[in-house]
Structure 1
Amino acid sequence: MDSSRARAEAPVEEEDRVLTGRSEDVSSAVEALQGGTRVAVLLLGDHGIGKSTLMEAVAAKLSGEVTPVRLHGSPALSHVPYGVLAPFILDLPVEDATSQLAVLRIFWSYLEGERRATQKPLLLIVDDAHDLDEATAGVLVELAAAGWAKLLVSAAARPGLPEPLLQLWFEGIAERHDLRPLTREQTTEILAHQLGPQVLPNVAEVLWEASAGNPLLLGCLVDDAKNDGTLLQRNGVWLLSRPLNSHGERLTDVVRRQLLRRSADERKALNLVALAEPVSRTLIEALVDEATVAGLIEEELLRVSDAPQPELRLWHSVYGDTLRNLISPARSLQLRQSLLRLMDREPASAEGLLRHVSWSMECGVEVEDRQLLRAAVLASRLFEDDLARKAASQVKDPELQIAARSVIARTHYNTSNHAAARDILEADFAKGRTVASLLTGSLLWAAVLSALGHSPADIMKRADALLRAGERLAADNPGDAESILTATRDRVRTIRSMVLALAGEGAAAAGAPDRETGGNVSGGDDDGQPANNLDRAFSLALQSEQLLVQGKPDSAYAAAKAALEAAGADHGELYFLSDFLMVRAVTAVIHAGDWTAAESLLGGFVAAFGPSLISFGGGVHAATGIILLYQGKAAEAKRTLRAALEALRVADPQQLFSLTAAMAFAAAAEVGATEKAAGLLADYESARPAVSRYLRTLSEMAVVYGKARLGGHRRAAEELEKLGRPDGAPNTAGLEFDALAFRLALGDPEAAVRLRELKPALEGRRAAAVCGYAEALGTEQPAQLLDAAKSCEEAELWGFAGLAYGAAASAYHAAGDTLRERMAVSQQQRCRDRAESLPGQEPDGQDDTLGLLTRRERDIVALAVRGLSDRQIAAELQVSVRTVEGHLYRSYAKLNISGRDELRRVAGE
């Protein structure tokens, strides 16, 4: 589909946006046209990919060197010989209208006049060359081949260039650039340029997926989303408040103009696919014709699956809503009836069913209740909440209405409207007349109550109504009594496992006895085995949290992975289970300090959970911010966490707002942003606490740390100690480590003593590095402090690395070793620079000359500065003289000096 015509005078802002990621193409094209071996540069790509703007950028680069003459292909003139040359050949006699030689002579006369006026070589700039007639293309090739002018040509990849122009490339005298869609990173760069730096990553991800990397579509989606409030700015942060609306004014205008260029059969085929996708290729070909469908596939307007029975979809999915919005209800109904006459069965795929039901509702056609319910469930899973509510609200069967209302509750849960979800679910709780309707929504009900702050004990007390309802249903159906009671008890067990896992309440897992069996309802049958896969997954999730509390993050991660495997792929009404378990897994690897694993998990989440990114993207950003804070990158962490907070205000399905606010407050306090810290503290204090015990305690620690950083909390060490070792709680080494790490960062010497005692009980490289620093502090030996600093660097804990280097510098100062003190201070500054550097930016301060040396080289240089000979250095360090000589020689080379005489200058003595 074609893009807008108004390209030659595109604003600079638009030009910069489209040229993101194209700088190499611009440079290469300019060099080719300036050189003597190429007569043409050919730019090819899909419609809207930015060919015309790129071409204008090349022309602008050459503006002082060439005489530009512009031509523009036109579909209306594509079959008229020399049609686009008409303005230049007005003096051509009618009898010579078909003579290429005559046309060439007149056209060349015009061009030569232009060239004489400027005294600069000719550059013919040809846009939309795919719409040129072959005769015109032949004239242009003749001019280029004769060396009279050079060509800068753009064309759609399909149908491509006319044969004469393509021949230039075959002969090796033209350079060809096939423009590719933008990458995710380039899309992020464009959004940052257009909107500003504070754009949530999930915004870039959603827009990149929707636009398929096409700059024109990206611009349309951004403008339309801003206009309708889908893309909005809060506290300087750009975020998506709901799924993209794909029938905004600008995108609709682009699609409408593209449709006007299509034949009636092509428009019919495109409309049918938009209304029914995915739809059988055979059906569409029966209603249109094979050649039309094949042409649309060739031009990449439709894509075809490789299934045994191929299905068609629109190439750009965002065109679907736009096309459907352009079709009148009467025309839509007509197309539906023509398609249904040829269909012998309902769509096989879930997505096909969803479109079929949606299309029927749009046309006012009545849909069977079970089909409506299936479509509502699918739409809610895809976060198409409006469609889910519309389909569910049309279900008439009283027994199915309970399930339909639970779907509506789920759409409220999607947007963190827990109160609305609770009101719907509680009205139906324990009131079904069948086992299926009795249990429907019960797990979501418990999850909603947990999100609203109800304790596991309170939820289980309320869940007793489900057991009573099961008993009544069993009494009414004696033939099925056993299966009814088993199903109800299993569900209550699963509810208990879930609410305990959500709250992280391991101590409560022993719980009150099951009044029916005399055993526990902690998950599992009487033999202690899990009642079902969900029960097992929640039990493992609880185990993961308890291992975290105990200081075993590696083991906690293994348990979280096992929980994900146990849960399987289909979680029914608990569609958020994978996200909940993912939070547990990410929490474990962050606690362990395994940043690579954390990045992999978060990246995999983004790739796998596209439809839920608007709801769950804030959590991904929050995790990234916490990692930055732990690494010591407080300024960047503050920016990232504040942006995450804005997303979590819109949707917070995992109840991460209070944790994120606490961490953002700590980061703001760390960098001395007092006013921002005050606002973030207010956010934390007004929010509902995190459901999970571990995350709730961690939030409280971060707030205490932030208050201490701001200088107004003298009892910080005491409060952190209490949070790390809660009264009566067994084995909380993990919580205690978090508290001690905060205390150590605050400079509390007692924290180092306890960390040394705690080290054997802890897992993870973050704990190993921090405890190593604590051990080195106990020795007061500068060499050990340097080793600890290196370990912290390897763990990418830049804050603790800087503290260790600072402690080493103090120890060297006390020993009177000025050179090593200076080197340690230099290394400390390097760590600070690294912590303050922006993403992808190398820190400044790389003038750390002595930091270029290895530890052994620095030892030898330090002795040489003190005046020791090579032999004396060898004796001091118990190495050979040759070893000393070799290290000194390499040190001279690294320091760019000629010998010993210059060492004192480099060392600053």
Structure 2
Amino acid sequence: MDSSRNRATAPEAAEESNALTGRTEDLGSAVEAIKGNTHVAVLLLGDSGIGKSTLLESVVAHLRADVTPVRIHGSPSLTNVPYGVLGPFIVGLPVQEATSQLAVLRTFWSRLEEERRATGNPLLLIVDDAHDLDEATAGILVELAAAGWAKLLVASATRPGLPEPLLQLWFEGIAQRIDLRPLTQRQTGDILARALGPQVLPNVAEILWEASEGNPLLLNGLIDDAKSDGTLLQRNGVWLLTRPLNSHGDRLSDVVRRQLLRRTPEERQTLNLVALAEPVSRELIETMVGEDPVAVLIEHELIRVTPSPHPQLRLWHSIYGDTLRNLISPARSLQLRQSLLRLMDSEPTSAEGLLRQVSWSMECGAEVDDRQLLRAAVLASRLHQDDLARQAAALVKDPDLQVVARSVTARTLFNTSDYAAARDILEADFAQGLSVAVLLTGTLMWAAVQAALGHPPAEIMARAGALLAAGERLAAEHPEDAGGILAATRERYATMHAMVFALAGEYSEDAGGAADPGPSGNVLEGAFKLALESERLLVQGKAVQAFAAASQALESAGAGHEELYFLAEFLVARAAAAAIHGGDWKAADTLLAGVTAGPGPNLISFGGGVHAAHGIILLYQGKAAQAMTTLSAALESLRLADPQQLFALTAAMAFAAAAEVGAKDKAAAFLAEYEAAPRAVSRYLRVLSEMEVVYGKARLGNYPGAVDELRALGRPHGDGSTAGLEFDSLALCLALGDREAAARLLELRPGLEGPRAAAICHYAAAVSTDEAADHLEAGKACEDAELWGFAALAYDAAANGYRSAGDTLRERMALSQRKRCLDRADSVAGQEEDAATDALGLLTRRERDIVALAVRGLSDRQIAAELQVSIRTVEGHLYRSYAKLNVKGRDQLPGVPTS
């Protein structure tokens, strides 16, 4: 009865494996329930494409030798036909008895008995798409199951859900209900690793997970389409996204077409209207198509309603939008647009609504006002929708507005690191405006582009003097506004000055080395001065103060700066540098998580920097093998977009990591990358890169001058004004075995901040005394700071000391601790999460469901309502879960973020 399994091709088998990712527990529960004596049915419920049918087939495959499978498939065309889907089983039934439940039951059972006698195994009725069953058929199936004549394995969409008779089995406690959840981000990563290999950039999994919303069918469609059109490709063994996802490829289009075929004409028109105009007023759509199709689509979770005083509709799966729009002909799209506009009494108020309306108009060839085009171009560029931004900007006709439009185009080029092309556009308009607004347009981006191209701050500001001259010219031409014009241009010049010096990390080194002490003329200038102060403090070894200054800059800068859309990421990078230098890994992770929480395209532009930062953390912690892999992947991402100019730093760190693990060929390749790349814009990062390169060369051997060179890099002025840089250089010297570095580290110790400096100086103190007990304490301090490499060095020295003293017991203890640290250094990313997962394995399925909801923040009452159980039941399960997991309450449950 089950021959479909033999027809599976290799790709289908791979897709099934993908769909079963994260479903192992569900599979086990279903098989156990069918084999057991407690339940007569297993009900698999979930959204369309979530993997119900695949799981159903896997359950059948596991039970094949023990059951007689009989398949029944729900059909939307037979939903209102009593016993319609049972037609193949009751063909011999006289017409006059076709509506008799008893007659149908007798005939159906007779046919089933023939099947059962042929195999000798119990009957298993397999019902797919059970939401399309008619009530009469559902009643027959329930009769058979309740009587113990057969067991049921049922798959159904959550909406509209199971027919009442089947649902009643669950209410009575004789059916096992399994609700299939969307895939987690980690499970999405597992699918990608299985489909593409282990070298997949983390942001790829994150973007695909967000786009698919954890739906395996949509995920597989996105992967196939992205590979086909070159959006997802492999470079140097690393899979990455080269641009935002195209969500109207062949696979996704096929999925959407099949969804549309099941809908009525009125429902299809509703979906088209929502796709073309989303977010769109519910009242407006209901005026056009009526309330019923909207209600059906909401119930079936194809569109959703935003909670607001004026409810708006949007597609349930956002990636359906491009696909649906691509399936609508331009003529039909224009017709729908005109129909909708006749009923609209105002323009969209949201940014998304404006972008959709302008995009829709351009697709139809309709005329759009210049100012609306420009607003859309600016918004699109801010959201990294570069193609839409360029298309809208290119259509602007007003000469004055074209200057702003060209600056938007330059910004989209900056997004992809095409700085030369951005410069050519901005240079033509720089200091050329006939009004102060036009004169200032694009000036900050112009300065950022000059910095990205490697021009020093003094040179940039000398050329920026043309802006002041243009302001004076404009003031002379408009004496009535002269004061305002001169003030605006001077303020912009001051902001540019603060920005280019902050980007370069060049601060005044006279009289205490304070950054420009003058008052800030505006928020941006103040933020840049704080960023520069942060870098000055970092170079001095004041990591905690540097982090506070960068955090203050981030807070004061706010958001929404049209020209400096990258300001927040720039300031995050400065704050993260301080946190990483100081060894505050939690603060660094929190900052980086804020970048990855942004929209998918933002991850493509800035994701490389995030991966680089994670790689540097791993390297500092002593996890060189992991660091090399992470930094190597970051380099591939930075080749596409590097707005923070981090490529050279990343290549240097990757070289040091490869040298650390003895990967000579990879080290040579990373060194070549570093030497060919433009140096980092920031002076601190440039010096740090040079240090890591020297360290890597020493690790590879035959580089006798490494220690002297590192010391020189740490003291560029020959004095103690750069204690932070010197600390970095001496830490590398200490790692190379230079014992003399310990004495200087202890001299610097009182002025250094952060757990990393404290732990390494603790080790330096132990090196100075060379007492086994001191090394043991230093090892513990380095462990606490998660510096596994230095901890292993300290424990190794302790073991040697105890060995010399003949203390075998303490020697073995130190060696055991050394091995633990080396194991942590060599551990694979995610093993810590595996431990939490293993702990959760102690719980029953119901306990895990309740714990999962508790982790999401639901109260006991909300959990009870969600799972349709009593509050007392929830409290009991949580109490037993706490005991099994050895925790005291909700805040300690695995997966609960700590404050």
> How high is the TM-score relative to the length of structure 1?
0.89
Separation of aligned partners in 2, 1:822 and 1:39: 58
Separation of aligned partners in 1, 2:715 and 2:71: 77
- Residue identity over aligned pairs, in percent, reads 71
Further displaced range: 499-508 or 676-685: 499-508
Separation of aligned partners in 2, 1:284 and 1:553: 56
Post-superposition offset of 1:418: 0.7
The aligned counterpart of 2:826 is: 836
1:51-86 deviation per Cα after TM superposition (whole angstroms, max 9, x unaligned) = 111111111221221111111111122222222112
1:251 maps to 2:252: yes
1:720-763 deviation per Cα after TM superposition (whole angstroms, max 9, x unaligned) = 01110003676100000000111111101111111111111100
The aligned counterpart of 1:465 is: 466
1:528-550 deviation per Cα after TM superposition (whole angstroms, max 9, x unaligned) = 32010000000000011111100
Candidates 780, 788, 791, aligned match of 1:790: 780
Other structure's SS at 1:238 match: strand
The aligned counterpart of 1:742 is: 732
Other structure's SS at 2:831 match: coil
Other structure's SS at 1:64 match: helix
Candidates 757, 764, 780, aligned match of 2:747: 757
Separation of aligned partners in 1, 2:759 and 2:620: 12
Post-superposition offset of 1:508: 7.1
Structure 1 alignment gaps of length 5 or more: 512-519, 845-909
Further displaced range: 28-37 or 573-582: 28-37
Post-superposition offset of 1:170: 1.6
Post-superposition offset of 1:336: 0.5
Other structure's SS at 2:64 match: coil
Other structure's SS at 1:506 match: coil
Post-superposition offset of 1:618: 0.9
Further displaced range: 782-791 or 347-356: 347-356
1:674 maps to 2:664: yes
The aligned counterpart of 1:621 is: 611
Other structure's SS at 2:597 match: helix
Which has the greater radius of gyration?
A: 1
Post-superposition offset of 1:94: 2.3
Letter in 2 for 1:532: N
1:39–1:144 Cα contact (<8 Å) kept:
yes
Separation of aligned partners in 2, 1:756 and 1:745: 15
1:144–1:150 Cα contact (<8 Å) kept:
yes
Post-superposition offset of 1:120: 1.0
1:821-858 deviation per Cα after TM superposition (whole angstroms, max 9, x unaligned) = 232222222211221111233799xxxxxxxxxxxxxx
Describe the shift of the 1:60–1:213 C-alpha distance in structure 2 as closer, same or farther (beyond 3 A).
Answer: same
Separation of aligned partners in 2, 1:809 and 1:165: 68
The aligned counterpart of 1:316 is: 317
Candidates 599, 602, 611, aligned match of 2:592: 602
1:573 maps to 2:563: yes
2:126–2:152 Cα contact (<8 Å) kept:
yes
1:837–1:843 Cα contact (<8 Å) kept:
no
Separation of aligned partners in 2, 1:785 and 1:164: 71
Equivalent residue runs for 1:278-357 within 5 Å: 278-357=279-358
Post-superposition offset of 1:203: 0.6
Further displaced range: 68-77 or 674-683: 68-77
Post-superposition offset of 1:443: 0.3
Letter in 2 for 1:165: L
1:780-826 deviation per Cα after TM superposition (whole angstroms, max 9, x unaligned) = 11111100011001111110011101111221222222332232222
Other structure's SS at 2:679 match: coil
1:110-140 deviation per Cα after TM superposition (whole angstroms, max 9, x unaligned) = 2111111211111111100111112211111
Other structure's SS at 2:521 match: coil
Further displaced range: 15-24 or 702-711: 15-24
1:854-900 deviation per Cα after TM superposition (whole angstroms, max 9, x unaligned) = xxxxxxxxxxxxxxxxxxxxxxxxxxxxxxxxxxxxxxxxxxxxxxx
Letter in 1 for 2:558: G
The aligned counterpart of 1:105 is: 106
The aligned counterpart of 1:588 is: 578
Letter in 2 for 1:597: A
Letter in 2 for 1:808: A
Q: What root-mean-square deviation, in Å, do the aligned CA atoms of Structure 1 and Structure 2 show? A: 1.8
Separation of aligned partners in 2, 1:775 and 1:730: 20
Separation of aligned partners in 2, 1:842 and 1:310: 43
Describe the shift of the 1:142–1:539 C-alpha distance in structure 2 as closer, same or farther (beyond 3 A).
Answer: same
Structure 2 alignment gaps of length 5 or more: 835-899
Describe the shift of the 1:679–1:652 C-alpha distance in structure 2 as closer, same or farther (beyond 3 A).
Answer: same
Letter in 2 for 1:703: V
The aligned counterpart of 1:145 is: 146
Other structure's SS at 2:153 match: strand
1:8–1:53 Cα contact (<8 Å) kept:
no
1:523–1:530 Cα contact (<8 Å) kept:
no
Other structure's SS at 2:111 match: helix
The aligned counterpart of 1:545 is: 535
Describe the shift of the 1:794–1:314 C-alpha distance in structure 2 as closer, same or farther (beyond 3 A).
Answer: same
Separation of aligned partners in 2, 1:64 and 1:734: 69
Separation of aligned partners in 1, 2:202 and 2:541: 31
The aligned counterpart of 1:52 is: 53
1:436 maps to 2:426: no
Post-superposition offset of 1:509: 9.6
Post-superposition offset of 1:219: 0.6
1:618–1:645 Cα contact (<8 Å) kept:
yes
Post-superposition offset of 1:90: 2.1
Letter in 1 for 2:537: L
1:691-726 deviation per Cα after TM superposition (whole angstroms, max 9, x unaligned) = 011111111100000000000311100110111000
1:563 maps to 2:553: yes
Letter in 1 for 2:754: G
Further displaced range: 113-122 or 244-253: 113-122
The aligned counterpart of 2:30 is: 29
Letter in 2 for 1:777: V
Separation of aligned partners in 2, 1:252 and 1:830: 52
The aligned counterpart of 2:806 is: 816
Candidates 678, 696, 706, aligned match of 1:706: 696
The aligned counterpart of 2:63 is: 62
Post-superposition offset of 1:155: 0.5
1:536 maps to 2:537: no
Describe the shift of the 1:445–1:394 C-alpha distance in structure 2 as closer, same or farther (beyond 3 A).
Answer: same
2:378–2:562 Cα contact (<8 Å) kept:
no
Letter in 2 for 1:671: V
Separation of aligned partners in 1, 2:6 and 2:301: 23
Post-superposition offset of 1:359: 0.8
Letter in 1 for 2:611: H
The aligned counterpart of 1:655 is: 645
1:540–1:560 Cα contact (<8 Å) kept:
yes
2:383–2:599 Cα contact (<8 Å) kept:
no
Letter in 2 for 1:303: R
2:272–2:325 Cα contact (<8 Å) kept:
yes
> How high is the TM-score relative to the length of structure 2?
0.90
